[in-house]
Amino acid sequence: MAIEVAPLTPVFAGRMTGIDARRTQTAEEVAAVDAGMARYAVLVLPGQDITDEQQLEFTRNFGPLQDGANSTERRHELRLDPAFADVSNIGKDGRMLARDDRRRMASLGNRLWHSDASFRIVPARYSLLSGRVVVTEGGNTEFADMRAAYDALDRTTRNDIEDMICEHSQIFSREQLGFTEYLPEERARMKPVRHRLVRTHPISGRKSIFLSAHIGGIVGWPMPEARAFIRDLMEHATQPRFVYAHRWTRHDLVIWDNQATMHRVRRYDDLTMVRDLRRTTTKCDGPTAAQDAA
């Protein structure tokens, strides 16, 4: 079957058909997905009824896996293999998470615009999110094109940010929602990491703004000034003209490039409706910036 991509917005995101993620991919198929990703930054592959094993195998075509389990989850409490980010509202016992469940608190962070694992020294490249059980009211995933957002900046701002380095930590994103309870060892593990704010895509060569809710500072700037500046950029970068809102159909496999996009989930009634999405993630080749010597 021929591999085809139909654009979903005038700017980015495409619907790709002709790939069967359950099968072993040929080199040509992997190259077609990579080329589609470099161009569209978000690809929706409908009708992919895959198992966890098939999702892992498909993901490995695109590079080394990023550990999905987040740093506040205890391994023995995981519902899925630790290579997965469990983006569901169900616990290991198969029941919906209680309102005050700690994992639910952490996953509310996905409501803020972010780039996956930007709090890691080697951040995420692709995220592959599989819709196993989807909801019909709310729960859209929205994506914003950080290349288009970069292109639309005025020249002064582009010059100002060219060499800017930001500090990212999950502590910063969760603190925006008032979540501040950590064990001392968690706090140590969540130490801020540094990333360039302007990145050049290794395949497309396009520049983008590496924004994320995990940003809490800019190296060399007073914190309030940094946060006000990042807010302005966030507002610019998430204008409707740069956004694609994905409404889920069961068995959609949505792949996005964290180097070139941000995303967020919209509210849904997570106390009464099951939503079971499972994410696998690949890593970038290396850090985007040198880390603090300390």
Instruction: State the binding partner of 265 from Mn ion, ligand OGA, none, CB within 5 to 8 A by kind.
Output: ligand OGA
Dmax over CA atoms of the chain, in Å, equals 55
Total residues in contact with ligand OGA, by rule CB under 6 A? 11
Query: How much of the chain is helix, strand and coil, in % rounded to 5?
Result: 25, 25, 50
Contact call for residue 96 and ligand OGA (CB under 6 A): no
The residue whose two tokens read 């999110």 is 129
Positions in 59-88 near ligand OGA (CB under 6 A): 85, 87
Nearer to ligand OGA, 9 or 212 (CB): 212
φ, ψ of residue 57 to 5 degrees: the values are: -65, -40
Question: d(Cα 268, Cα 274) in Å, to the nearest integer?
Answer: 10
Nearer to ligand OGA, 207 or 263 (CB): 263
Q: Per the structure block, which two tokens stand in for 82?
A: 């630790």
Contact call for residue 116 and ligand OGA (CB under 6 A): yes
Beta strands in 37-83 (DSSP E): 42-45
Contact call for residue 252 and Mn ion (CB under 5 A): no
Contact call for residue 116 and Mn ion (CB under 5 A): yes
Tell me the closest approach of the beta carbon of residue 163 to ligand OGA, in angstroms.
28
Nearer to ligand OGA, 207 or 278 (CB): 278
Instruction: State the binding partner of 72 from ligand OGA, Mn ion, none, CB within 5 to 8 A by kind.
Output: none
Closest C-alpha among 53, 18, 30, 105 to residue 278: 53
Contact of 261 with 114, CB cutoff 8 Å: no
Tell me the closest approach of the beta carbon of residue 110 to Mn ion, in angstroms.
5
Among 120, 195, 279, 283, binds ligand OGA (CB under 6 A): 279
Instruction: State the binding partner of 125 from ligand OGA, Mn ion, none, CB within 5 to 8 A by kind.
Output: none
Tell me the closest approach of the beta carbon of residue 256 to Mn ion, in angstroms.
9
Long-range contacts of 7-11 (CB under 8 A, 24+ apart): 7/40, 8/42, 8/44, 8/244, 9/243, 9/244, 11/145, 11/148, 11/241, 11/242, 11/244
Contact call for residue 141 and ligand OGA (CB under 6 A): yes
Q: C-alpha distances in angstroms, 101 versus 78, 97, 104, 185, 242?
A: 14, 6, 5, 20, 34
Contact call for residue 262 and ligand OGA (CB under 6 A): no
Total residues in contact with Mn ion, by rule CB under 5 A? 1
Question: d(Cα 117, Cα 281) in Å, to the nearest integer?
Answer: 9
Among 120, 199, 207, 263, binds ligand OGA (CB under 6 A): 263
Tell me the closest approach of the beta carbon of residue 182 to Mn ion, in angstroms.
20
Interface positions with ligand OGA (CB under 6 A): 85, 87, 110, 116, 127, 129, 141, 263, 265, 277, 279
Interface positions with Mn ion (CB under 5 A): 116
